[in-house]
């Protein structure tokens, strides 16, 4: 018999119950007990949904983040948090979000740093290490959940992060070496495993995602040390990897002294036979055969064609599971009542994925005949999708085949364009602008919501949005900015807005995925060839331009960001889908130009997010991503000034690729890192114009004129002043007008001061 299990289940709940409970608790509207009750109910519900599996993950549930939970379990809470009064839960939420519900002030910014969980859009709280770091087991949370599961009849497989990946995911706050902490850390893991054994646990899932990345020898050695230390533990360990190939770590992963290994058989399918060859005969091999990173139905017959011979070889040594934790997909497709029936028939969310797993297990155990009907239904859905006219649009394929290199190149090189644009735009030195959005007030949100619900006529909606655009333009004129924007009141999200107008896209109602803490995103679904039916932004921008004599900047989201923030079809390579989006954006850029919009910004906020886990694969990604951007942006005349925007400060390593985008102006986040980013410009001389953010929009603080002047002076040391723009870090949509107006006014005054001096 094959063994089935799961690596992790979404915690937010089918209708984001956890989000609502957390936010109500943080606001002080409900008690800690009420929060705990919602959490316990969700766990119970999740376990019930998985009760057909042989092993169910326990401890994957978290009130905020599983890496933070691991820090608590290991007693690794930074001293600055310890020093504050309050309960353990206060400490937990302080580290998660800077304050606990019992803190009345907002001054104690104790929050831990947050960063992306490998190549996902989930963010974890980074473990901190320094010379004072010690570890002490605090297994209360995990033990309670294991007991809770056992009492509900669940065959629990606790999930923990392995010691090497725990250190690898963290950050040293001084010059303490993370690896030097391993010796101290291992006994705590041993204790934890012993305690789990005492509860009757047989298998523990120990996640070591670091194994799918390029590791220096010290880290590889740490794996040997760690697992030799844990060898004597009384529970069986399932060493778990996901999100990619093991490559040069394959042999290491196979040889570590544990009882089982899980590999991602979606992303690392090509390696599986090699793993089988290397894996000692006494070990279990768990194959992640259902994609935990996407929402498409599994092609069950195809999976079985591949898996049956493996099962014949491994027999009861074979376990099967989703490729990774299901944290990265929505909970239940059954909640989607409004989604088109045909598209729904192609999809599979967490609950459906586990049913697929079950069917595969049945087929392996009792033959495909035993599930013939289900397999047949699945086959039909897969075939219908392959053939569907909604997926394949010949006109798009034709347009793609007409792409040639010259389409991705500007007519002249930057210096020539710059001269032309300078004469045309006549901007002062240190031109001031913003990144696009202006405060999204309650009223704007309501206008959009009413319109969406059909409670506001098209005419009324347009009038209200226009009125809001006018407010934004008037404000910007008063503040005396040089390049204005329309403010984006019609957009609730920079990807969804475009997705809704492109064909080939579908939208779920409850397809929420946790991004961090209580924050969830609902990625739109790209199911077919992408086309733009009609202009998406031109009317709004034209209207905004009609209100002012100053240049109005058209505002678009770039193809790579649209791709990276969507669930993407898996029947063709991602770069091809990106090219289709690029063509749609290109048409919009050209329509804006024709409408007389002389400056167009194409945001690529998520370009960096798409970087593969292994550096060795970066170049391939960057090549197609940058060429998609160029295809979208460069079909304009020399007169038109193209801007792009990115909001992250780790830049140095992709600078040459960014330069290849050849945008006339690039605006970037910098003020939080105190212009640290500028080092990148010292090392690599970026050839075009740059607007390093001088106003940190993530903070409610109003930047002063002097602060901005200081930052600009710093910037002018690395960037030639004649190529320096003055702008905030990012869009202003989360701020309020009473923060934005004075801050921008100070920014403009600072620019004027520099002009006067130069």
Please state, in angstroms and rounded to a whole number, the distance separating the CA atoms of residues 390 and 579: 18
Are 709 and 754 spatial neighbours (Cβ–Cβ below 8 Å)? yes
Q: Does 730 bind ligand GLN (CB under 6 A)?
A: yes
Q: Which is nearer to Zn ion, 556 or 605 (CB)?
A: 605
Q: Which does 555 bind (CB under 5 to 8 A by kind): Zn ion, ligand GLN, none?
A: ligand GLN
CA torsion angle 93 94 95 96 (round to 10): 40
Give 70-136 as a 3 state SS string: HHHHCCCCCHHHHCCCCCHHHHHHHHHHCCCCCCCCCCCCCCCCEEECCCCCCEEECCEECCCCCCC
Q: Does 553 bind ligand GLN (CB under 6 A)?
A: no
Q: Which is nearer to ligand GLN, 13 or 436 (CB)?
A: 436
Q: Does 666 bind ligand GLN (CB under 6 A)?
A: no
Q: Does 730 bind Zn ion (CB under 5 A)?
A: yes
Catalytic residue among 52, 228, 366, 698: 698
Which of 561, 568, 489, 562 lies closest to 526, judged by CA? 568
Q: Which residue is nearest to Zn ion (CB)?
A: 647
Q: Work out which of 731, 743, 746, 748 binds ligand GLN, going by CB under 6 A.
A: 731
Burial of 362: CB neighbours in 10 Å, binned 0-12, 13-18, 19+? middle
Q: Which is nearer to Zn ion, 289 or 647 (CB)?
A: 647
Count of residues near ligand GLN by CB under 6 A: 13
- Nearest distance from residue 656's CB to ligand GLN, in Å? 22
Q: Work out which of 90, 299, 603, 739 binds ligand GLN, going by CB under 6 A.
A: 603
- Nearest distance from residue 561's CB to ligand GLN, in Å? 8
Q: Is 698 a catalytic residue?
A: yes
- Nearest distance from residue 488's CB to ligand GLN, in Å? 6
Q: Which is nearer to ligand GLN, 504 or 728 (CB)?
A: 728
Q: Which is nearer to Zn ion, 647 or 719 (CB)?
A: 647
Please, which of residues 429-468 interact with ligand GLN by CB under 6 A? Answer: 435-437
Q: Which does 703 bind (CB under 5 to 8 A by kind): Zn ion, ligand GLN, none?
A: none
Q: Work out which of 427, 555, 560, 633 binds ligand GLN, going by CB under 6 A.
A: 555
- The whole-angstrom distance between residue 305's C-alpha and the CA centroid of its chain comes to 33
Please state, in angstroms and rounded to a whole number, the distance separating the CA atoms of residues 756 and 758: 6
Q: Work out which of 182, 556, 625, 647 binds Zn ion, going by CB under 5 A.
A: 647
Give 3-state DSSP helix, strand, coil % of the chain, rounded to 5.
Answer: 50, 15, 35
Q: Does 633 bind ligand GLN (CB under 6 A)?
A: no
Please state, in angstroms and rounded to a whole number, the distance separating the CA atoms of residues 590 and 486: 18
Q: Does 645 bind ligand GLN (CB under 6 A)?
A: yes
Q: Which is nearer to ligand GLN, 403 or 520 (CB)?
A: 520
Continuous H helices in 595-677 = 618-633, 655-660
Q: Does 602 bind Zn ion (CB under 5 A)?
A: no
Which of 92, 102, 181 lies closest to 141, judged by CA? 92
**236-240 and 203-207 strand pairing:** parallel
User: Cα–Cα distances in Å, from 226 out to 176, 257, 287, 300, 638?
Assistant: 19, 10, 23, 38, 59
Q: Which does 436 bind (CB under 5 to 8 A by kind): Zn ion, ligand GLN, none?
A: ligand GLN
Which of 319, 268, 167, 98 lies closest to 614, judged by CA? 268
Q: Which is nearer to Zn ion, 287 or 666 (CB)?
A: 666
Q: Does 285 bind ligand GLN (CB under 6 A)?
A: no
- Nearest distance from residue 647's CB to ligand GLN, in Å? 4
For residues 55-70, one letter each, b for 16 or more C-beta atoms within 10 angstroms of the residue's C-beta and e for the rest, the string is bbbbbbbbbbbbbbbb
Instruction: Provide φ and ψ at 372, rounded to 5°.
Output: -55, -45
Q: Which does 275 bind (CB under 5 to 8 A by kind): Zn ion, ligand GLN, none?
A: none
Q: Does 663 bind ligand GLN (CB under 6 A)?
A: no
Partners of residue 124 on adjacent β-strands: 115
Q: Which is nearer to Zn ion, 12 or 605 (CB)?
A: 605
Contacts to ligand GLN by CB under 6 A: 435-437, 488, 494, 555, 603, 605, 645, 647, 730-731, 733
Please give the residue ranges that form the binding site for Zn ion (CB under 5 A). Answer: 605, 647, 730
Annotated active-site positions, please?
A: 698
């Amino acid at each position: 018999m094959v063994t089935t299990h799961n690596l992790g289940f979404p915690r937010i709940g089918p209708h984001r119950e956890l989000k609502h409970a957390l936010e109500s608790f943080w606001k002080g509207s409900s008690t800690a007990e009420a929060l705990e009750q919602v959490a316990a109910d969700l766990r119970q519900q999740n376990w019930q949904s998985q009760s057909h599996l042989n092993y169910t993950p326990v401890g994957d549930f978290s009130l905020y983040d599983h890496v933070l939970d691991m820090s608590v379990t290991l007693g690794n809470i930074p001293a600055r948090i310890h020093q504050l009064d309050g309960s353990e839960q206060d400490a937990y939420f302080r580290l998660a979000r800077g304050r606990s519900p019992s803190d009345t002030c907002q001054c104690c910014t104790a929050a831990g740093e947050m960063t992306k969980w490998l190549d996902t859009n989930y963010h974890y709280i980074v473990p901190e290490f320094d010379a004072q770091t010690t570890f002490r087991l605090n297994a209360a949370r995990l033990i309670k959940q294991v007991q809770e599961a056992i009492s509900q009849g669940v065959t629990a497989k606790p999930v923990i992060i392995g010691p090497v990946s725990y250190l690898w995911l963290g950050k040293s706050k001084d010059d303490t070496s993370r690896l030097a902490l391993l010796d101290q850390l291992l006994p705590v893991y041993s204790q934890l495993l012993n305690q789990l054994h005492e509860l009757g646990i047989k298998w523990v899932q120990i996640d070591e995602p670091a194994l799918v990345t390029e590791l220096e020898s010290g880290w590889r050695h740490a794996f040997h040390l760690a697992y030799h230390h844990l060898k004597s533990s009384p529970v069986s360990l399932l060493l778990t990897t996901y999100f990619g190939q093991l490559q040069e770590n394959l042999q290491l992963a196979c040889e570590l002294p544990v009882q089982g290994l899980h590999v991602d058989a979606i992303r690392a399918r090509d390696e599986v036979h090699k793993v089988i060859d290397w894996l000692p005969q006494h070990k279990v091999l768990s194959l992640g055969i259902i994609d935990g990173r996407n929402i498409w139905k599994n092609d069950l017959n195809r999976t079985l064609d591949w898996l049956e011979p493996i099962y014949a070889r491994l027999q009861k040594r074979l376990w099967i599971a989703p490729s990774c934790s299901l944290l990265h997909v929505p909970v239940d497709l059954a909640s989607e009542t409004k989604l088109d029936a045909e598209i729904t028939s192609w999809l599979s969310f967490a609950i459906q994925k586990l049913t697929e797993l079950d069917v595969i297990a049945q087929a392996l155990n009792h033959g495909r005949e035993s599930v013939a009907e289900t397999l047949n239904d699945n086959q039909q859905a897969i075939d219908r999708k392959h053939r569907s006219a909604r997926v394949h649009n010949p006109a798009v394929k034709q347009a793609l085949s007409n792409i040639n290199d010259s389409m991705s190149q500007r007519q002249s090189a930057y210096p020539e364009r710059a001269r032309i644009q300078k004469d045309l735009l006549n901007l002062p030195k240190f031109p001031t602008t913003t990144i696009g959005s202006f405060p999204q007030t309650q009223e704007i949100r309501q206008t959009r919501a009413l319109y969406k619900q059909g409670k506001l006529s098209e005419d009324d909606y347009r009038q209200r949005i226009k009125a809001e655009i006018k407010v934004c333009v008037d404000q910007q004129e008063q503040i005396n900015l040089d390049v204005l924007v329309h403010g984006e009141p019609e957009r609730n999200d920079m990807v969804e807005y475009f997705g809704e107008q492109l064909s080939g896209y579908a939208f779920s109602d409850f397809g929420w995925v946790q991004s961090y803490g209580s924050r969830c995103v609902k990625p739109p679904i790209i199911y077919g060839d992408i086309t733009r039916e009609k202009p998406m932004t031109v009317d709004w921008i034209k209207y905004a331009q009609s209100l002012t004599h100053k240049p109005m900047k058209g505002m678009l989201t770039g193809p790579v960001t649209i791709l990276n923030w969507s669930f993407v079809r898996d029947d063709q390579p991602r770069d091809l889908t990106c090219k289709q989006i690029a063509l749609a954006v290109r048409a919009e850029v050209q329509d804006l130009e024709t409408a007389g919009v002389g400056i167009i910004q194409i945001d690529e906020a998520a370009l960096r997010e798409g970087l593969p886990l292994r550096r060795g694969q970066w170049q391939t990604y960057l090549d197609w991503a940058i060429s998609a951007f160029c295809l979208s942006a460069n079909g304009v005349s020399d007169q038109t000034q193209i801007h792009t925007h990115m909001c992250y400060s780790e830049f140095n390593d992709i600078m040459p690729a960014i330069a290849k985008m050849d945008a006339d102006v690039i605006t970037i986040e910098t003020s939080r890192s105190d212009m640290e980013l500028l080092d990148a410009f010292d090392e690599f001389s970026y050839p075009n114009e740059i607007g390093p953010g001088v106003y940190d929009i993530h903070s409610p603080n109003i930047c002063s004129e002097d602060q901005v002047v200081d930052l600009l002076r710093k910037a002018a040391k690395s960037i030639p002043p004649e190529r320096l723009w003055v702008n905030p870090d990012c869009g202003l949509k989360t701020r309020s007008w009473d923060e934005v107006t004075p801050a921008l006014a100070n920014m403009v005054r600072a620019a004027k001061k520099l002009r006067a001096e130069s």
